[in-house]
Structure 1
Amino acid sequence: MSDVIIYPARTVRTMDKVVPTAGAVAVRGDVILAVGETEELAATYPGATVDERYADRVLAPGFVEAHSHLGGEFGASPYFLGYFPRTAPDGTPLPGAQTWQGVIDALKVWDAELPEGEVLFARGLDMLFFPGEQLTRGVLDEVSTTRGIYVTHASGHVGTANSVLLERAGYGPGTEVEGVVLDADGVPTGELQEMQAMGPVMALAGIDLSKGLTTEGGLYAFAADARNHGCTTATDLASFDLVRPGGYDLLAEVTGRDDFAVRLVPATFGGMTKTLEQAQQLAGAVAAQQGRATPKLHLGSVKLMLDGSIQQYTAKLQDPGYVCNHDAGIWNTDAATFRDQVRAFHAAGLNIHVHCNGDEATEVFLDAVEAVLAESPRWNHRHTVTHSQLTTRAQYKRMAELGMCANVFSNHIWYWGDQHIDLTVGPDRVKRMNAARTALDEGVTIALHSDTPVTPLDPLATASYAAERRTPTGRSWGDAERISVYEALEAITIGPAYLLKLDHLVGSIVPGKYADFAVLDRDPVEVAEAKELREITVLGTVVGGVHHEAPVAVGV
């Protein structure tokens, strides 16, 4: 058994209730052979090599992120204006901006640094953190009247452009494109809401999603970020790579390398289709690719989009809506077109993930699934409401009956927790928001996600927010919807693996599954309080038996 390697650990936390913990795991090739104690495994597999590198570490299942985005150069823009500082995958600090003057100063510094003629594209700003201020074309024109400037807000659903880009996009007085915000005189303010309005300006800024943004460098940056946070399987949940020339070849080539540290699940974006025929054509193209899957490239999922963002007031909410009496939001896809999209992708046997922030959007998705199941009965589809932020108990009951899943955006509890209490849905409705407890109680399998680059890819932190339900200022989001630490850990391991139809391969440390581990300094199940999950150090990952050390582990 010279090809068997036994890895002793302080604890092997399997997330499998049959054998919840062990002292070691045996690996053969890229697969888990057995879990148990070192002596037992050595006796069972004589001649096996015992590798002590993790003897004082905790091995947990590699975390699974079922809603993330590669973003390529789009997500990796160094011009970061977020309120909460971040760290780039290579360790570079991204301080963001915590004051309004800091936002303006940063834009002016970047404008001075960029070559003439290059568009300044900044990301991550959220105006909810700067009450009383407005980001308009006039503010950006004060930075430059010759360079195009585009600032995308943290959600990715709203952006602001200066006059240079607005004029190039053809947005002038009286523009009637939905989402192009006009002032009292009918002149564009610079704010662009949702994809129809943002698309032309994004293209001018070099962000043409339909042509693909994936690069080799972007893939490796994403994999490094995943490694640094214990994540071994992750989605690109709005991908064009499988349906653009050379896209599959790039993914297959890069993910096939041993030094690439994450299994990738590209979910093709189907929201661009406008007719049943277009949706059927795209569904056929995606379905035809499934036979080209590899161990680190998993195919067969698609992404659709209904509404917008709650914190940008573009999500579609049922009564009582927003507490600020804002309007009813924006549909990215109308109900009739959406039903045709669901019909086509469901009939093709694909796994459908749909962006639904508001409960009105969730209702439209449930109606569509119920209709297509009546036309084309299909078991085990696992169609997923992703974000699922305001999904109600009645909707979760219906989801369970329809065989649907929920991917809950628990990071909102932290990153916009206070703002949702004060500015969007109010102190009562947040008690029912991101309702992981209700979902589980009604029999719906859940995942928790980051939607990176919207919020940081950090599954342990994501789990902590769902179990703690406290904002950065310590305010409660309602304890009734808290889930246990163990349930939260399931929702970043076996839960998302189930949503992605990969639970037979990843999500727990069980014989026959891939040897994918997160290497930790503490056992996450044994924390005294949920917030301690954020204090656990990730020292690296193992993906299919290949070791990927995080920079923080050097010298530890």
Structure 2
Amino acid sequence: MSINGSRILVAARILTMDPACPIATAVGVNREGRIAAVGDLISCQKQLPDAEVIDLGSDVLLPGFVESHSHPVLSGVATQPPAYWIAPYVGYPTWQSVTDLFEKLQAEAPAGQALLFNGFDKLLHGAPPPTREVLDRYFPDREALVVDNSGHGAYFNSAVIERMGWTKAPPPDPVGGSFGRNPDGTSNGQAFEAPPLMLLMEALMPDLVPHPLASAAQWYALMAGNGITTASEMTYNSTQKQSFETLAQLPHCPLRISLYHVSTAADCAGPWESDVAPEMLCKQGIKLWADGSPWVGNIALTFPYLDTPAVRAAGIQPGVPQEMNYSREQLDQILDQLAGDRLQFDFQGQSTICTQNWQMAIHVNGDAALDVVLDAFEAALQRHNLLGTDHRWRLEHLGAARPDQLRRAAGLGVYASMGPFQFQYWGDLLDGEMFEPEQGSQWCRVKDATEAGLRPSYHNDGSVSPPSPLGNLKTVVTRTTQSGALHGPEQRVSLDQALRAQTIDAAFILGREHDIGSIEVGKLADFVQLDVDPHDVEPMHLEDGITVQATWLGGERLDIAAFERAAGVSDPEPHRHLATAVVRRCC
């Protein structure tokens, strides 16, 4: 390394995402970790004559991938060891493969060790939610808890029922949740929605996940290993602050994080104060949920679920669902409370006006729900004089959105974070099994959103699906599902459009395009190093034909293993509460 700490990276090709200089072969990084020059080696050395030159050989550099909608801490707690991730797309495609794991662990795990599983999916696993009776066959003498991939259900055996003191009957159903019961009133080993799930988590999770911060660090590492250098947390609340700050300050922390505070928290509109550099950790907006999950059936649509074996097996009622989390009046009230100027108090008790306009981000899957959201957005933007300003309010997922809605959203200055994973993993069921092809084949209309001017970014919504920007590229460019089947080819986008959605457009929706998302002078030197240019790979092999060689943050090649080690030896006590927070509404 040079005396002043500057360096020049030389690669076979650098895809900058900067229209003014789209391709380069060298990038210079100053001692502050920002880009000082872009071009070839000679031009970079003119700017940084004493810089160390690092030759990456035949590898290719891109801006670090950006995950615009994620849950990195809670995903780690829910899925990483000591938990077992049993989602269909991480090695357990059938219920038989899941029960094979059950049998293996029952035989090999230490006697009495409780076991946590996350990722059961009744649609993709092709099985009904397990009951106490089913789980007792595999775990007759140890506690076993299985969490639904949707986050809406949990399933457990007799040992858990005994631990909870529910041998005669579970508690009365709380508001907003329910317990499964046998005809005689005893527990059948099932619980649904957050209130009853929280009872289970508070009792069991401290034993099941003794070091939540170490588990969270494993998810950070997984994201970084897939080339992601910036992510968001879309269900932030203040109890998580210390954990995010601790992770951000560990050596080789691989992720910059933008926080979106849940609207249900009393302090969601409050200011953000932290000793952590804002480049590593900042609060960006507020998160709301308009409806729920298409895999559970609690969304608001204008068209019906079909009456098919797949829909029936998933416990979804055929017909047109109209399930909203808010009425239009409630949405208006919430947006009025959170948008625009707000009254606050300083340390002397004097009232002051806060001019921070937090970015609103709202989860919405169903097209009927989106009609309500767009009406509420338009009215609130007008009331608060935000129409025509750079407010960047957000829509999340948009699985069933119609072209007219996408155009309307763009006209309001609203942008979209879309989830190609919904199509990638469930597309074969969406098209003809769950919905008529007219709707199912068009699920996740990325081409329509791009042409409407929504400037969509892509996300994987961990832990609903694994963090895989390259998988997203393959899905939207080929419009094929994990099985290789083609659905809705008219929604395909070009590779260049897809790359922008995973870099500079994702940075834009996070309000961070001035710092990240492209390789330009003055921006942070965050890169993903690939073994091949995506343009040189057959589209069907964009996921399996490219290897992430390294990730770079602030011009430093990350030692992800060192980061995980540092998290593993950190004090677990301040973070134990994270283990009880893994239940959230499906995002």
- Return the offset for 1:79: 1.6
Higher mean Cα deviation, 366-375 or 173-182?
A: 173-182
- Select the residue among 119, 126, 129 that pairs with 2:121: 126
Q: Which amino acid counterpart does residue 364 of structure 2 have in structure 1? A: C
Match of 2:11 in 1: 9
Consecutive unaligned residues of structure 2, counting only runs of 5 or more, are: 309-316, 341-355, 562-587
2:501 is equivalent to residue 504 of structure 1: no
Count of residue pairs brought into register by the alignment: 524
Measure, in 1, the Cα distance between the counterparts of 2:322 and 2:211: 30
Secondary structure of the corresponding residue to residue 441 of structure 2 = helix
- CA deviations over 1:219-277 (Å, ceiling 9, x no partner): 4323321221111101122122xx12xx434433431344111112232222x34xxxx
Q: Is the 8 A contact 1:290 1:299 kept in 2?
A: no
2:92 is equivalent to residue 84 of structure 1: no
Match of 1:461 in 2: 471
Higher mean Cα deviation, 311-320 or 11-20?
A: 311-320
Matches within 5 A, 1:149-548: 149-162=144-157, 165=160, 168=164, 172=170, 175=173, 178=176, 180=178, 185=183, 190-206=189-205, 215-240=212-237, 243-244=238-239, 247-270=240-263, 272-273=264-265, 278=266, 281-284=267-270, 287-289=271-273, 293-322=277-306, 324=308, 325-326=317-318, 328=321, 330-333=323-326, 335-347=328-340, 349-378=357-386, 379-548=389-558
Q: Is the 8 A contact 2:24 2:38 kept in 1?
A: yes
Measure, in 2, the Cα distance between the counterparts of 1:38 and 1:315: 54
Secondary structure of the corresponding residue to residue 423 of structure 1 = coil
Matches within 5 A, 1:46-85: 47-70=49-72, 71=74, 72-77=76-81, 78-85=83-90
Match of 2:37 in 1: 34
Measure, in 2, the Cα distance between the counterparts of 1:238 and 1:174: 28
- Return the offset for 1:434: 0.3
Secondary structure of the corresponding residue to residue 406 of structure 1 = strand
- Return the offset for 1:22: 0.6
2:47 is equivalent to residue 45 of structure 1: yes
Cα 1:190–1:521 shift into 2, 3 Å:
same
Higher mean Cα deviation, 332-341 or 493-502?
A: 332-341
Higher RCO by CA contacts (8 Å cutoff, separation 6 or greater): 2
Cα 1:430–1:537 shift into 2, 3 Å:
same
- CA deviations over 1:382-404 (Å, ceiling 9, x no partner): 12111111111121122112211
Q: Is the 8 A contact 2:304 2:318 kept in 1?
A: no
Consecutive unaligned residues of structure 1, counting only runs of 5 or more, are: 86-94, 552-556
- Return the offset for 1:146: 6.0
Cα 1:469–1:544 shift into 2, 3 Å:
same
Measure, in 2, the Cα distance between the counterparts of 1:368 and 1:161: 40
Measure, in 2, the Cα distance between the counterparts of 1:288 and 1:549: 29
RMSD (Å), alpha carbons: 3.1
Q: Is the 8 A contact 2:231 2:257 kept in 1?
A: yes
Secondary structure of the corresponding residue to residue 396 of structure 1 = helix
Q: Is the 8 A contact 1:69 1:451 kept in 2?
A: yes
- Select the residue among 131, 138, 145 that pairs with 1:143: 138
- CA deviations over 1:365-398 (Å, ceiling 9, x no partner): 2232223212212222212111111111121122
- Return the offset for 1:84: 2.3
Cα 1:177–1:116 shift into 2, 3 Å:
farther
Measure, in 1, the Cα distance between the counterparts of 2:370 and 2:201: 28
- Return the offset for 1:435: 0.4
What TM-score do you get using the length of structure 1 for normalisation? Answer: 0.85
- Select the residue among 16, 22, 39 that pairs with 2:24: 22
- Return the offset for 1:339: 3.7
Measure, in 2, the Cα distance between the counterparts of 1:498 and 1:196: 36
- Return the offset for 1:181: 6.9
The percentage of counterpart residues that share the same residue type is 27
Secondary structure of the corresponding residue to residue 525 of structure 1 = helix
Cα 1:291–1:374 shift into 2, 3 Å:
farther
Q: Is the 8 A contact 1:439 1:446 kept in 2?
A: yes
- Return the offset for 1:504: 0.8
Secondary structure of the corresponding residue to residue 236 of structure 1 = strand
Q: Which amino acid counterpart does residue 297 of structure 1 have in structure 2? A: L
Higher mean Cα deviation, 409-418 or 439-448?
A: 409-418
Q: Is the 8 A contact 1:73 1:213 kept in 2?
A: no
Measure, in 2, the Cα distance between the counterparts of 1:480 and 1:81: 33
- Return the offset for 1:439: 0.8
What TM-score do you get using the length of structure 2 for normalisation? Answer: 0.81
Q: Is the 8 A contact 1:311 1:424 kept in 2?
A: no
